[in-house]
Amino acid sequence: MTSSNIINYVVSKTIKFKVRELRKGKKELIDLALNNSINAIKDFMELSLKNKTTSNKKLHRLGYKEIVRRYNLSACIVHQSRNKASEIIKSWKSNKRRLNKNIPLPEPRAQRIRYDNVVFDVIKTENKEFQFWASILVAKRKRIYIPLTVNSNWQKSYLNDLIQEKYKQGSADLVKKGNDYFVHIVIKKEVEFKPQENYNPIGIDVGINNLAVVNVNGRSKFFNGKRAIAKKKHLNKVKAIYQNRNNLKMLEAIKGREQRYFNHINHNISSWVINQAKLLNNPVIVMEDLTYILDTTRVRKKQRYIHQTWSFRRLQNMIQYKALWDSIPIVYINPEYTSQVCPKCLSTNKRNKHNYKCRYCDYEANADHVGAVNIRKKFLESISFEDMASINNAIGFSFKETQTMNIGKAKKYATKQEGVSPPITEVKGIRNTYIL
pLDDT digits (tens, 9 = 90+) for 292-311: 776 667 777 777 777 777 77
pLDDT band of 141, cuts 50, 70, 90: confident
Per 3-state DSSP, the chain is made up of helix, strand and coil in percentages (nearest 5) of 45, 25, 30
Interatomic CA distance for residues 244 and 233, integer angstroms: 17
Kind of pairing between the strands at 283-288 and 200-206: parallel
State the maximum Cα–Cα separation within the chain, in Å, rounded to a whole number: 83
Tell which of 191, 214, 231 closes a domain: 191
H or E segment to which residue 409 belongs = helix 408-414
Same domain, 67 and 26: yes
Q: Which pLDDT score, from 0 to 100, does residue 128 have? A: 79
Write down the pLDDT at residue 420.
37
pLDDT in tens, 327-341: 899 988 888 888 888
Residues 99 and 223 in one domain: no
Kindly state whether residue 3 falls inside one of the protein's structural domains: no
| pLDDT band per the 50, 70, 90 thresholds, residue 398 | very low
Answer whether residue 402 shows pLDDT above 60: no
* Contact predicate 144/26, CB 8 Å: yes
Statement to judge: residues 162 and 295 lie in one domain: no
Q: How confident is the model at residue 350 (pLDDT cuts 50, 70, 90)?
A: confident
Taking the C-alpha atoms of residue 429 and residue 336, their distance in angstroms, rounded to an integer, is 9
Give domain status of residue 60, yes or no. yes
pLDDT at 144 over 70: yes
Worst-scoring range by mean pLDDT, 72-81, 319-328, 349-358? Answer: 349-358
> Which stretches does DSSP call E strand in 377-431?
383-384, 398-399
Q: 3-class DSSP state for residue 51?
A: helix
In percent, the amount of the chain with pLDDT more than 90 equals 51
Q: Specify the pLDDT at position 296.
A: 66
* Domain shared by 175 and 214, yes or no: no
Whether residues 291 and 396 share a domain: the answer is yes
Q: Is the pLDDT of residue 436 over 70?
A: no
Q: How many structural domains compose the chain?
A: 2
| 258 vs 214: CA distance, rounded Å | 24
pLDDT at 421 over 60: no
Which pLDDT does position 43 carry in this prediction? Answer: 95
Mean pLDDT over 274-288 rounds to: 92
| Of residues 287, 292, 313, the one with CA closest to residue 433 | 287
Of the given ranges (139-143, 348-352, 367-371), which has the lowest mean pLDDT? 348-352
Straight-line distance from the first to the last Cα atom of the chain, in angstroms, rounded to the nearest whole number: 21
4 is a domain residue: no
Domain shared by 212 and 183, yes or no: no
Asked if the model's pLDDT at residue 406 lies above 60, the reply is no
Q: Is 51 part of any domain?
A: yes
pLDDT of 169 over the 60 cut: yes
408 — pLDDT class (breaks 50, 70, 90): very low
Q: Is residue 397 part of a domain?
A: yes
Same-domain status, 205 and 186: no
CB contact burial 339-359 (16+ within 10 A = b; e otherwise):
bbbbbebbbbbeeeeeebbbb
CB contact burial 222-241 (16+ within 10 A = b; e otherwise): bbebeebbebbeeeeeebee
Q: 207 with 154, same domain?
A: no
pLDDT digits (tens, 9 = 90+) for 353-382: 788 888 888 888 888 899 899 998 888 877
170 and 74 assigned to the same domain:
yes
Q: Is residue 317 part of a domain?
A: yes
pLDDT at 295: 67
Clarify whether residues 186 and 206 are in a common domain. Answer: no
User: What was the pLDDT predicted at 215?
Assistant: 93
Say if residue 271 is in the same domain as residue 420: yes
Strand segments, DSSP code E, in 368-425 are 383-384, 398-399
136: left (phi over 0), alpha (psi -120 to 50) or beta: beta
Q: What mean pLDDT, rounded, does the chain reach?
A: 83
Q: What per-residue confidence (pLDDT) applies to 221?
A: 92
Domain boundary among 191, 211, 237: 191
Query: According to the model, what pLDDT value does residue 395 have?
Result: 38
Tell me the residue range of the domain where 282 lies. 200-435
Q: Read off the pLDDT band of 188 (50, 70, 90).
A: very high
Domain termination residue (choose one: 191, 224, 253) = 191
Note whether residue 2 is domain-resident.
Answer: no
The verdict on 294 and 228 lying in the same domain is: yes
Q: Is residue 83 part of a domain?
A: yes
